Amino acid sequence: MPAVRLSRRQEALLVTTLCLLQTGWSAHWSDKDKTPVQKGLCPEEGGWTQGGGSCYRVVDTPTQWIMAEYLCREYFHAEAIPVKITSQEENDFVWKLAGDRDVWIGLQDISNPDRDIGVWQWSDGTNMTRKMYKNWYPGAPNGGGESCAQFWEGGAGTWEDTECREEYPFICELDIDECAKGLDKCSRKAICENTGDGYECECAIGYEGDGFTCEKEKPGQESKKKKPKAKKPKKPERSYKDLDKCVKGLNKCAPQAICENVGDSYRCTCAMGYVGDGFTCQRDTPQLREQRKNQKAEEQAKEEKAEEQAKEEEKVPEKSEKDVEDAKDEL
């Protein structure tokens, strides 16, 4: 029988398959760009659009990044997050869906106290590593307190870092659970587990394989399955109220104002030499000081007039019950 020549791609695929069968590893299926579009996989209301293994919703209302994260989860769907992009195909799809404009994506480094260095993190809690897909505009991120990422209109689908207190539209993403929907390719003798960006198949006890194909273990054969990994404790959800709006740049104070964190809110006070409500501050001038002096004098005059009227009313004697009765008799 003549030898069969395999391409490098086929050789690599064959080696990977043999390793999986011999070690009993569970297989991971990334569904981001592969799940076929079907009716009923995304919520019917709210304008959700399916793209691969996720549903996307574009929200046109501009808001700050942290509020976008809050609204995705608390208002639009309990399991939704600002979009997490893991491939060029998904990036192109979401960029087109957003309408070629500035919109928030679910990437930030406000969780890290040193924002100039920054550990960029997706909304699902995973840190961005060197091997993960990224599409930064050349020179970005450049730090300087710009701790949230957005699609940049001038960057043709690339990402730019900007201040989190800026307000832009945003995109929510909702993962489709292939295991629950019966869309997985796991063996009937395997356990399917949804992973957020896909699913994992692991052969049940008494079976060996890669999860897509599982064969019964031979009598006396030692299981080669790896021990299940201990699940990491669930990361506590970050609340908008718990964040220091002044430190994180999530306030609307004027550049000439001093921001002070107060409980679950903040206070803006114009710096020395400036006047205003803290949200807008202008340089103090002799004309403004004269206006404030005149305004204060007018307010003081009104108060004095009101006090005089009150004293005059007190001088008028109150009519007794007898006086009232006499007045009635006269009538």
331 residues of the chain, pLDDT tens digit each: 444 454 554 444 444 333 333 333 344 445 455 566 677 889 988 899 998 889 999 999 999 998 998 899 888 999 999 999 999 999 999 999 999 899 999 999 876 544 445 689 999 888 888 899 999 999 999 877 788 999 988 788 999 999 988 999 999 999 998 888 888 889 999 999 887 767 889 999 989 899 899 998 887 665 555 545 444 444 444 444 555 667 656 778 887 777 887 777 888 888 777 788 988 888 888 888 888 888 888 988 988 888 888 887 776 665 566 666 666 666 5
SS3 of the chain: the string is CCCCCCCHHHHHHHHHHHHHHHHCCCEEEECCCCCCCCCCCCCCCCCCEEECCEEEEEEEEEECHHHHHHHHHHHHCCCCEECCCCCHHHHHHHHHHHCCCCEEEEEECCCCCCCCCCCCEECCCCECCCCCCCCECCCCCCCCCCCEEEECHHHCCCEEEECCCCCEEEEEEEECCHHHHCCCCCCCCEEEEECCCEEEEEECCCEEECCCCEEECCCCCCCCCCCCCCCCCCCCCCCHHHCCCCCCCCCCCCCCEEEEEECCEEEEEECCCEEECCCCEEECCHHHHHHHHHHHHHHHHHHHHHHHHHHHHHHCCCCCHHHHHHHHHHC
Residue 264 has a pLDDT of: 74
- What's the CATH number for 242-283? 2.10.25.10
Residue 27 has a pLDDT of: 47
Residue 125 has a pLDDT of: 85
Same fold across 50-175 and 242-283? no
Residue 90 has a pLDDT of: 93
Domain extents in the chain: 8-31+177-216, 50-175, 242-283, 285-316
Range 50-175 classified under CATH 3.10.450.50: no
Residue 155 has a pLDDT of: 83
Give which of 63, 70, 82 is closest to 238, Cα–Cα.
70
Residue 257 has a pLDDT of: 78
**CB contact at 8 A, 59 and 71:** yes
